[in-house]
Amino acid sequence: MRKLFGATVLVLSSVLVACGGGGGSPGSSDLPYTISLRAEKTQLPINIGGAPASIGAYAPYTTTLYVEARENGAPIPGGEGIFSCAIVQGLDSGALYYLDGNEEHEDDNGNPLAYRSITLGANSGSASFHVHAGTKSGTVRVTCSVTNPADKQISSVSADIIVGAATGKPASVLGTLQAPGYLGSRDNTFIFPVTRERLRNNVGLNAFVMDDANQPIPNPSAANLQVSIRPFGASAGARLLSGAQSGSVLQVRTIDGVGLISLSSGPSAGVILLELTTDRADNNVSNGIQDAVTALMAVSVHHAIATSPLVIGDAELTVTVGMPYSYALTAQGGVPPYKWSSTALPAGLTLSPDGVISGMPTAPKGNYQIVVTVSDETGGSVSKNLTIKVEGELAIDGCSSDVSAPCALPGAKVGESYSHTLSFSIGDPSVPVVWSATGLPGWLTLDANTGLLANLAGRPVAGDKGTYTFVITATRGSLVVRRQVTITVS
């Protein structure tokens, strides 16, 4: 009998004697033994919260098993060590427990111990024990055996207990970096003084894709994880690698819910912002993403380590009510990796431990003063006041906050030249804006790079009088804003 692990919490309800002492000798017989094994519950929920093993109405994660042996229809003689039972499949999904009140089957604090195999005595030819669900879905197969002392023939029987039911539909994706959890810039020459190792410019990344029950997604037949580098911070020159793939966007298949990608830095220090995406619709990103499940991940990039004090690089951010927002805070110096925290952010925004501010702002328009704190690997920390400017929905060309009403652009006149350059007020200003339009009047053109609206195709004529309504689209990285606008020709 081998102990598997010890439970860490007390049994919630009264214990049940799981095996009988049964006095007397097992005796001898040349008749065959028959053995049966019955589970009170053949299906258990996944024990996500790690609830303790117990019995009764408030023990949904534990079931009782009854093993019985007979000889010519009558119970076999009682005794100690009559039945041997073991988990032969699904050890990750559950464990065996005695729950008999015997101190030998409890830890020093009185908590029941978990086993992968147990030995039971028999009373009236039978005994009972328990299976308790673990955190992973699967089928726990328990096999019990009994030996006839007369002919030494072994009789055995098995029972299956199903733990949980994985949906197989992605519900979350989470990334984690290989140690040390940060990168050196591509051309850095820094050498750690003690180990004489170079500051690496490449790091491995694992992405975990889990379903509704927090179980690993089954191995897919096609790529089910997309990792992309957002145009932000130190993204220039950085690239992702996986097998023959290399670039700013990769698609890979997960194994037991885990995808592996490698990230190489560019020449700049700062933050590389990664976007991890899976498709809940069909667990397949190679045929288009229909129902995206995404997560953001920040990776800091450094020219050198611990040659300068820890500092925070950001001072002011601008967000827009009702518009999705994401931004990775920047720190340099100290000893990475860093951990971030802050005082209360404007409603709708959150800060992750790796420094990503994200969400959809719902706070009233105005300037919000918060304090952000970053700590490094040594425990050193620094704080800084940060201003977050919350703007109304002023997205394209300074339009009013009423997005249901078209935005009026400067008017045009018959026979005269027209020129107006559109403006875009949100997002990372270091990322260029790409402009497009649908429904433009025939005499008007839009420059995709500059946002210039001009009558390059000819001046408006008398027949062009009236008000024209069309849609302008501004794209800055992953941020896309569309706005209905009007121009009146007089």
The answer to whether position 397 is within a domain reads no
Q: Is the per-residue pLDDT at 1 higher than 60?
A: no
List, in order, residues 6 or more apart from 243 with CB less than 8 Å away: none
Q: Are residues 287 and 319 in the same domain?
A: no
- The percent of residues above 90 in pLDDT, for the chain, comes to 58
Last residue of a domain, one of 119, 143, 163: 163
pLDDT, residue 202, reads 96
325 and 366 part of one domain: yes
Q: Are residues 333 and 295 in the same domain?
A: no
Q: pLDDT at position 427, please?
A: 65
CATH for 264? 2.60.40.10
pLDDT > 70? residue 462: no
Within a domain: 401: no
The per-residue pLDDT for 412 is 84
| pLDDT 10s digits, 354-376 | 999 999 888 888 899 999 999 99
Q: What distances in angstroms separate CA 120 from CA 5, 123, 125, 372, one per listed residue?
A: 19, 10, 11, 59
> Domain check: are 130 and 206 in the same one?
no
CA nearest neighbour of 343 among 387, 373, 381: 373
Structure tokens at 44: 């258990």
Indicate whether 91 and 31 sit together in one domain. Answer: yes
Q: Say whether both 86 and 224 belong to one domain.
A: no
**At 49, is the pLDDT very low, low, confident or very high (cuts 50, 70, 90)?**
confident
417 CA to centre of own chain: 54
Does position 120 have pLDDT exceeding 80, yes or no?
Answer: yes
In this prediction, residue 63 carries a pLDDT of: 97
What pLDDT does residue 366 have?
87
Are 14 and 34 found together in one domain?
yes
Report strand pairing: 62-71 vs 170-177: unpaired
251 plus 123 within the same structural domain: no
Instruction: Report the pLDDT value the prediction gives residue 414, as an integer from 0 to 100.
Output: 84
Of 307, 283, 303, nearest in space to 293 by CA: 283
Query: Which one has a higher pLDDT value, 168 or 204?
Result: 204
Q: Which of 285, 302, 319 is the C-terminal boundary of a domain?
A: 302
pLDDT of residue 362: 81
In this prediction, residue 404 carries a pLDDT of 55
Total domains present in the chain? 4
Burial of 287 (0-12, 13-18, 19+ CB in 10 A): exposed
Return d(Cα 443, Cα 448) in angstroms, integer.
17
Please report, as a single letter, which amino acid is at residue 97: Y
For residues 478 and 331, the model is more confident at 331
Q: What is the pLDDT of residues 372-413, one digit of tens each?
A: 999 998 888 999 999 999 876 545 766 654 455 678 888 888
Identify whether 463 is part of a domain.
Answer: yes
Where residue 431 falls among pLDDT bands split at 50, 70, 90? Answer: confident
Could you tell me the residue range of the domain that residue 26 belongs to?
3-163
DSSP letter string, 409-447: PPPB-TTS--EEE--B-SS-TTSPPEEEEES--TT-EE-
pTM for the full predicted model: 0.64
Both 103 and 88 in a single domain? yes
Domain boundary residue, one of 125, 145, 163: 163
> Tens digits of per-residue pLDDT, 106-117?
998 889 999 999
| Per-residue pLDDT tens digits for 287-327 | 999 999 999 999 999 998 888 899 999 989 988 877 788 89
Please check whether residue 132 lies inside any domain of the structure: yes
**Is the domain of 83 the same as that of 9?**
yes
Which of the pair, 475 or 90, is modelled with greater confidence? 90
Residues 433 and 288 in one domain: no
Q: Are residues 375 and 431 both part of a single domain?
A: no
Q: Is pLDDT above 90 for 480?
A: no
